[in-house]
């Protein structure tokens, strides 16, 4: 599969990139099928062969996320930019731990809410039962005679 990607050239700590097309699995420092432009990240200057890029995309060539975002920014491709995030191993591990903790906390909160709801239902049922008993007791009581109390 053909891919449009960046190939680094330039001095140490002063990179300049070529935008090239080549097989996806090949090393970007190897021989490219065609050089499609260049990109200087310091001056933000970019030179593109727009017709050739459109030609290769029409032939089914894919592009890396960074090249895709550059092409969208300069209006060669229509669409939204892709989100690029590079996380270190430590950051990935930390994020994974945080997700697990949040998941456990949410499970505990859900269980507590369920238990509270069950307890509230039980309390309400107990109160209803007591009220019913009190109503039945009041109805079943015989009226007291005031005369009996005087004796």
The verdict on residue 146 lying in a domain is: no
Structural domain count, the chain: 2
Distances (CA, A) of 149 to 74, 84, 139, 146: 103, 91, 21, 5
**Whether residues 9 and 57 fall in one domain:** yes
pTM above 0.85, yes or no: no
**Integer Cα distance of 119 and 107 in angstroms:** 18
Q: One digit per residue, pLDDT tens: the chain, 151 residues?
A: 899 999 999 899 999 999 999 988 877 788 888 999 999 999 989 999 999 999 999 999 999 999 999 999 988 888 888 887 777 778 778 888 888 888 878 887 777 776 666 666 566 665 666 666 666 556 665 555 555 555 4
Q: Which residue range forms the structural domain that includes residue 9?
A: 2-73
The verdict on residue 12 lying in a domain is: yes
Q: What is the CATH number of the domain that holds 38?
A: 3.30.1320.10
The verdict on residue 47 lying in a domain is: yes
**Whether residues 56 and 99 fall in one domain:** no
Question: Under a CB-based contact definition with an 8 Å cutoff, are residues 35 and 19 in contact?
Answer: yes
**Whether residues 65 and 6 fall in one domain:** yes
């Amino acid at each position: 599969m053909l891919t449009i990607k960046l190939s680094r050239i330039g001095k140490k700590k002063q990179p300049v990139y070529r935008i090239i097309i080549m097989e996806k699995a090949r090393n970007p420092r190897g021989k490219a099928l065609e050089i499609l432009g260049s990109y200087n990240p310091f001056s933000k200057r970019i030179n593109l062969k727009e017709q050739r890029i459109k030609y290769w995309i029409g032939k089914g060539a894919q592009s890396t996320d960074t090249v895709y975002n550059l092409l969208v920014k300069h209006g060669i491709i229509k669409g939204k930019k892709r989100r690029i995030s590079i996380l270190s191993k430590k950051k990935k591990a930390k994020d994974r731990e945080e997700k697990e903790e949040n998941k456990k906390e949410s499970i505990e909160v859900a269980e507590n809410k369920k238990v509270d709801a069950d307890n509230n239902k039980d309390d309400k049922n107990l109160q209803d039962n007591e009220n019913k008993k009190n109503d039945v007791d009041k109805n079943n009581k015989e009226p007291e005679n005031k005369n009996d109390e005087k004796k």
